[in-house]
Chain A
Amino acid sequence: MRKLAFLGVGSLLLALGALAIDSPTPAAQAAQSAADTLPAWKLAAGDSGSLKGPRQPIFFRHDIHVGVNKMPCQYCHSSVAESSEPGIPTMASCMGCHLIIGGSDSSHKVEIKKLRDAWNAKQPIEWIRVHSVARHAHFPHMRHIKALGPNACQSCHGDVARMPQVFKVNNINNMGFCITCHLERKINRDCTACHY
């Protein structure tokens, strides 16, 4: 008697609806998640399996590049401010630095070598995708950067600067996650803003 059950809910909806709606704010989630991923300088690729998030072909350390070396996100994800796609760094831009920088620690040397080999073989690296919005939702990155400033990345992607291995902090595929923010900031909630 599913329908019966549903109708029970039906009469209590006001209360339940309110409950369902308050989900933790992205900022809070980011902070909490950052706490359990403090950057450790020496991490071999072997360790990456024990870390959150998918294991990448090269153990690329966002925490070192962004956290320690203070590289701005847009240095690599260059098109984020002008295009709907942030873009991922070309092999060339990686090599731009790593032609010289071979890594101080042995565990780093190994990974950088992988990069150089791939470059010499003219073989692009197939990164595992961590964040992907459902394909029926269009997310224009540039609009969000324009509105929230160049460092707004973490409001969705979490504090990448402290992640040895990037993982999903927020379920960006939950429409509720987008809506929370749009509501807080009193931004257009029109469906065809994203769905077309």
Chain B
Amino acid sequence: MARTVPGVLAAFEHIDAACDAIQALRAQGRTDFTVYAAAHNHELEEAVGLPVSPVRLYTLFGGLTGVCAGVGMTYWMSLDWPLLVGGKPIATIPPYVVFMFELMVLLGSLSTVVGIVLLSLAKPTTGLAYDPRFSDDQIGIFVPCAGAEAASLERMFKDAGSVGVRHAA
């Protein structure tokens, strides 16, 4: 168990309240807070206002690699030991398109998954205070901080309409 990050954890049941709180945090110029939610929600996303995920680049890269692998494999293997079948040319595009496509989809999707993992790891969640109800029906906001700041944040969350605030130390 990694050491816990000291900070304030607020729970919300109402979406608008949570969004207000996030707005307030951002107004203070904070970006280090973490928002928990059980489902993907656009209002929250807008409130947090992070840029679009770069995961699509992984997809693109994987897809392209797949197509190249498809071309290379089929052509090289046909020409490595030329065998004539049905009077067709030894190496020929149309049937090989299938492989280019399949490998594109395959590597594309695999690298996408790799993308999620790597990108999520970039911002680790270990040690951040968490509450099981966040995966149920509550929205949580955690802000790493300490001392007086913590108290002010708690007040701010309460005002915004938090149903409960906890201090993690």
Interface residues in chain A, defined as those with a beta carbon under 8 Å from any beta carbon in chain B: 7, 10-11, 13-14, 17, 189, 191
Contacts and interface: CB of A to CB of B under 8 A. Distances in A.
A43 B141 CA distance: 88
A11 B80 contact: no
Contacts of B66: 11
Contact of B69 (A10, A17, A189): A10
A11 B76 contact: no
Contacts of A17: 76-77, 80
Interface of B: 65-66, 69, 72-73, 76-77, 80-81, 83, 103, 106-107
B76 A10 contact: no
8 contacts: A7-B103, A10-B69, A10-B73, A11-B69, A11-B73, A13-B69, A14-B72, A17-B80
Contact of A11 (B77, B81, B83, B103): B103
Nearest to B99: A10
A10 B65 CA distance: 12
A12 to B, nearest CB: 8
Nearest to B69: A11
B49 to A, nearest CB: 38
Contacts of B107: 11
B93 to A, nearest CB: 18
B81 A13 contact: no
A7 B106 contact: yes
Given A7-B106, A13-B77, 15 more contacts: A7-B103, A10-B69, A10-B73, A10-B103, A11-B65, A11-B66, A11-B69, A11-B73, A11-B103, A11-B107, A13-B69, A13-B72, A13-B76, A14-B72, A14-B76
B73 A13 contact: yes
Contacts of A14: 72-73, 76
A155 to B, nearest CB: 23
A7 B73 CA distance: 12
A11 B69 CA distance: 5
A11 B64 CA distance: 12
Contacts of B103: 7, 10-11
A70 B66 CA distance: 61
A7 B102 CA distance: 11
A138 to B, nearest CB: 19
B130 to A, nearest CB: 32
Contacts of A7: 103, 106
Nearest to A11: B69
B142 to A, nearest CB: 37
A191 B82 CA distance: 11
Contacts of A10: 69, 73, 103
Contacts of B77: 13, 17
Contacts of B65: 11
A163 B72 CA distance: 46
Contacts of B73: 10-11, 13-14
A189 B84 CA distance: 13
A84 B33 CA distance: 83
Contacts of A191: 83
